Amino acid sequence: MAHRPVSLHAPRGSVAADVIREGIDALLADKEGEVPLVFPPEVLAAAEHAAARDHSPAERTDRTEVPFVTLDPESSTDLDQAMHLERTEAGYRVLYAIADVPWFVELGGPLDQEARRRGETLYLPDRRIPLHPEVLSEGVASLLPDQPTPAFVWVLELDEAGEVRGIDLERALVRSIVKLAYDQVQEELDRGEGHPMMLLLQEIGALRTRLEAERGGASLNVPEQEVVADGDLVRLRWRRPNPIEDANAQISLMTGMAAATLMLEHGVGILRTMPPAEQPAVDRFRRQSEVLGVPWDEAQSYGEFLRSLDWREPAHLALLNQATSLFRGASYAAFTTAEEAPEDPAQAAIAAPYAHTTAPLRRLVDRFVLMICHDHVRGVRPAQELLAALVEVPEAMRSTGTRAGSLERAAIELVETAALAAWEAETFEAAVIERREASESKDGNGGAPTRVEVQLTDPPVTAWVPMDASVGDLVRVRLDSVDTVARRAEFVPADGDVR
């Protein structure tokens, strides 16, 4: 699952908030023509027409009496998923409602073409650029409380250990009864209270996490950056996702694995793929763990080792940063026959075949997975038009993902430099997470000095510093200068101190 960038918690009118907004306006102006910012009139008209459709045709199951709930960040309004969890004699039943975006987006129509051009919703620190017009993504297609909404409902039967023993998928009309927010839910659970559904979510999430460990899956427990207001300045701080967020993610992962199972069984689909880490990279990571004094036991799986690391420890934080080098090469693989399916369909980090299917309001590929899986469940061969579109999705996701990643990285750099402006000339303690030897330029006119990448704890940023130290060392660095326009902060050694 992709990390969302930092979000800005600074009131309008504060100096720092205005600087960041102006900077992001400039970033988007530089990307004019590359990043679609405004929906064309024909797309908006198609969205209005789709929003007015009758949502309850005869072939749609009526699930409006089922008390679904949603669980998201408090400010979210584009709600893709709602859940209803039950205990059964055999174990558990998970009803997972996913927004029925295909009901509103006609294949080949203006909304579909625009969505392929955008690929995904872009999340920037002070705004989002949606995949679909808001009348759909934050209106009639969103699983908002007390609103009858068209949805695909995954019906997953689990045994007592949390293993999926039955998979079904139906088109239904659902009604969420409440919008729950991560932080409030976690606070209630920590007090021994909470919504009954969240208590059951904790239970199922723990079982699924155990199964993930048993099959060799790996979760990177790296904290997120968060930006908060501090008068006319902004400060960066760590935000560790709540345990209930991890449990919620396990439900989504389980559903994606169920979708992959269906598509592989029927020989048509699109998977989220990631190759296993190459052995030299694994060997290098194992050596780093030994150098850092946190050896990776030969008998311990990669996922178990990562779960044992605590980002609050400098050596552990350095290892968690290094571990990202093993999670590379993620892509999509579409296939219209069993022979075209990937030879090794497992997504390496999850250690199982997996598909994106739970966020169709925010990601293009999920809409196609839902349509394909529903056809499989009904025993229907997907239409030729759908198959033709399916094979185009990987390239659309690749190109739009590259563009989104570049923009989001630039926005994060902007926020980091704006936050660092308040720290100019300050000295910090940091952990070395990477080292690069000095290099000569090709023309012989100088080159790059030996330098190290360091991770600061407060504020939580990384930076390259011209100095020599070993991975895992604690060093002292000084913030020499900040250029918010160029999105650049320069750090230098502080007294050459390495400990």
Could you say which of 371, 403, 418 is where a domain stops?
418
The whole domain housing 107 covers: 8-275+329-418
Same domain as 405, residue 429? no
Residue 201 lies in a domain: yes
Residue 3 lies in a domain: no
Say whether pLDDT at 317 is over 70: yes
Residue 356 lies in a domain: yes
pTM reported for the whole predicted model: 0.88
Q: How many domains does the chain have?
A: 3
Calculate the CA 127 to chain-centre distance. Answer: 17
Say whether pLDDT at 131 is over 70: yes
Angle, alpha carbons 253-183-80 (nearest 5°): 40
Say whether pLDDT at 497 is over 90: no
Amino acid 191: pLDDT: 93
Amino acid 423: pLDDT: 82
Range 379-402 average pLDDT: 95
Q: Give the span between the Cα atoms of 395 and 375, in whole angstroms.
A: 23
Could you say which of 365, 395, 418 is where a domain stops?
418
Amino acid 232: pLDDT: 63
CATH of the domain at 492: 2.40.50.140
Name the more confident of 226 and 252.
Answer: 252
Say whether pLDDT at 11 is over 60: no
At 9, the pLDDT band (50, 70, 90 cuts) reads very low
Same domain as 405, residue 287? no
**pLDDT digit string (tens) for 142-187?**
999 999 999 999 999 999 999 999 999 999 999 999 999 999 999 9
Average pLDDT, the chain: 88
Amino acid 132: pLDDT: 98
Residue 2 lies in a domain: no
Same domain as 247, residue 393? yes
Range 419-431 average pLDDT: 85
Same domain as 79, residue 187? yes
Give first-to-last CA distance, the chain, whole Å: 36
Same domain as 303, residue 336? no
Same domain as 60, residue 111? yes
**pLDDT digit string (tens) for 53-85?**
887 777 899 999 999 999 999 989 999 999 999
Same domain as 479, residue 360? no
Residue 92 lies in a domain: yes
**Residue 310 token pair:** 């605590």
Residue 303 lies in a domain: yes
Q: Give the span between the Cα atoms of 32 and 375, in whole angstroms.
A: 39
Residue 230 lies in a domain: yes
Evaluate the CA torsion angle 118, 119, 124, 129 in order and state its sign: positive
Amino acid 7: pLDDT: 44
Amino acid 438: pLDDT: 82
Same domain as 187, residue 265? yes
Say whether pLDDT at 6 is over 70: no
Evaluate the CA torsion angle 275, 243, 64, 75 in order and state its sign: negative
Range 109-123 average pLDDT: 95
DSSP-based helix, strand, coil % in the chain, nearest 5: 40, 30, 35
Four-point Cα dihedral 133, 135, 136, 142, nearest 10: 130
Amino acid 16: pLDDT: 65
Question: Tell me, what amino acid is at 46?
Answer: A
Q: Give the span between the Cα atoms of 389 and 45, in whole angstroms.
A: 23
Range 438-458 average pLDDT: 76
Say whether pLDDT at 499 is over 50: no
Q: Give the span between the Cα atoms of 483 and 357, in whole angstroms.
A: 41
Residue 300 lies in a domain: yes
Say whether pLDDT at 463 is over 60: yes
Amino acid 2: pLDDT: 36
Amino acid 496: pLDDT: 55
Cis check for the bond before 57: say yes or no (omega within 30 of 0).
no
Same domain as 280, residue 269? no
Could you say which of 362, 395, 418 is where a domain stops?
418
Amino acid 373: pLDDT: 98
Same domain as 255, residue 149? yes
Most confident of 244-248, 281-285, 429-433, 461-465: 244-248
**pLDDT digit string (tens) for 259-301?**
999 999 999 999 999 998 888 888 888 887 887 788 898 888 8
Output Rg (C-alpha) for the chain, integer angstroms.
Answer: 24
Report in angstroms the alpha-carbon separations of 425 from 327, 416, 477, 489.
36, 16, 10, 11
Same domain as 403, residue 392? yes
Say whether pLDDT at 475 is over 80: yes
Q: Are 428 and 479 in contact (CB under 8 A)?
A: yes
Say whether pLDDT at 235 is over 80: no
Amino acid 435: pLDDT: 86
Same domain as 285, residue 195? no
